[in-house]
Amino acid sequence: MGDEVVTIAWDDGLDGVRLLDQRLLPGRTEHREITTVAALVEAIRTLAVRGAPALGVAGALGVVLAMDEGDRNGWGEEEVAVAVDSVRAARPTAVNLAWGVDEVRGRMAQGRDAVLAAARQIASEDARANRELSRLAADWLLARLDRPRLRALTHCNAGALATSGWGTAVGVLRELHERDRLELVVVDETRPLLQGSRLTAYELDHLGIPYLIEVDGAASSTILRGLVDVAVVGSDRIAANGDVCNKIGTVGVALACDAAGIPFVVAAPWSTVDLDTADGDVIDIEQRPGAEVVELAGVRTAPPGARGLNPAFDVTPARLVTAIVTERGVVEPARGARLDR
Ligand code: MRU
């Protein structure tokens, strides 16, 4: 993996988007070269690129793709706008995708180079934000938890792969590791697409951070038995009242942390905070194909005719969220604190 994995970036030689195909990890490290909006939308929907902050960059670069494709094909403004909207709507839950599109869309009148520069700025800002929020979260945790080295549980993948660098929840773990204050990470495998066992484990492996993978169903027991000191997760959308939307299974982790009296910490850049969403009830939760649940690696595991229920995300109510750490600081929703501008 080298120093830092590059998840998604504009490639000047290609004149298109180059992304690491996360569907193939950890077995194969292959990149996809994308020069059309339709190919980018497909890559987003099938999770070749995924994770809220990385989707923000994908959204912004999608606007450049739409402008270039429009140029090549003689599209009018309306057709370019339809293409941009298709990127914006490729997945509904992570606010970063729509945010990334909206951040650069206003620059279209200044030309595609201005849009590309703004998209690149989003990526570099994200990496910077992740470093900062990781430092803040590590400081916060170490001031509260009285152990030489912490044992942490994480769910899904909120590492460099899900961002433009360093990671959010995994970024916090990296920061603790660099300070020699991390003993072990318990990684939930994250059914059905295994972002934990495929991607988080891949990252921790390369970083030399000790970890164990557990099935999602083990998480509450691990927490209640006192085998971890804290849970640290990322987020796809944080509502104004502190409700946190993240990968399905996260709310169970939060409930167990509450019952065990250990902190449940959310690490995310400010771009994941959506002040226009009042609370978690109104978040559009992506429903993915039931086939992902009744099959494992393409092999059917349920009886023929069995149908899967497959919400990709859940909402953890603010009262269960001990801390939300962004690059702007720490907010403690469980104590009644709200996010504001
Ligand atoms: O469906 P995914 O893999 O895009 O879901 C990703 C997550 O739920 C992550 O935890 C979240 O986006 C935070 S990534 C820093």
Task: Please name the residue ranges forming H helices in the chain.
Answer: 37-45, 52-73, 77-88, 95-105, 112-144, 169-178, 201-207, 219-224, 250-260, 291-294
Check: CB of residue 311 under 8 Å from CB of residue 287.
yes
Angle at 62 (CA atoms; ends 13, 58), nearest 5 degrees: 90
Catalytic residue among 68, 126, 236, 243: 236
CA pair distance 156, 235, nearest whole angstrom? 10
Question: Residue 2: which pLDDT band, with cuts at 50, 70 and 90?
Answer: very low
Q: Which atom of ligand 1 is nearest to the CA of 96?
A: 12
The finding on whether 17 has its CB within 6 A of some atom of ligand 1 is no
Question: Residue 284: which pLDDT band, with cuts at 50, 70 and 90?
Answer: very high
Q: Which atom of ligand 1 is nearest to the CA of 167?
A: 15
Q: Which atom of ligand 1 is nearest to the CA of 168?
A: 15
Q: Give residue 298's pLDDT.
A: 87
Which of 7, 45, 50, 200 has the most ligand 1 atoms within 8 A of CB, as the residue to mutate?
Answer: 50
Q: Which atom of ligand 1 is nearest to the CA of 163?
A: 15
Query: Tens digits of per-residue pLDDT, 58-95?
Result: 999 999 999 999 999 999 999 999 999 999 999 999 99
> Separation of 110 CA from ligand 1 center, angstroms?
32
Q: Give residue 4's pLDDT.
A: 79
236 is catalytic: yes
| Mean pLDDT in residue range 172-184 | 98
Contacts of 309 (CB under 8 A, 6+ apart): 290, 293
User: What average pLDDT does the chain have?
Assistant: 97
The finding on whether 127 has its CB within 6 A of some atom of ligand 1 is no
Q: Give residue 341's pLDDT.
A: 64
Q: Is the four-CA dihedral 219, 254, 314, 232 of positive or negative sign?
A: negative
The domains found in the chain, sorted by start residue, are 8-125 (1.20.120.420), 129-335 (3.40.50.10470)
| Mean pLDDT in residue range 228-250 | 98
Query: Tens digits of per-residue pLDDT, 88-110?
Result: 999 999 999 999 999 999 999 99
Which residue is it, tokens 């502190």? 242
> Separation of 295 CA from ligand 1 center, angstroms?
21
- Residue 15's identity, in one-letter code, is D
The finding on whether 168 has its CB within 6 A of some atom of ligand 1 is yes
Q: Is the pLDDT of residue 302 over 50?
A: yes
The finding on whether 126 has its CB within 6 A of some atom of ligand 1 is no
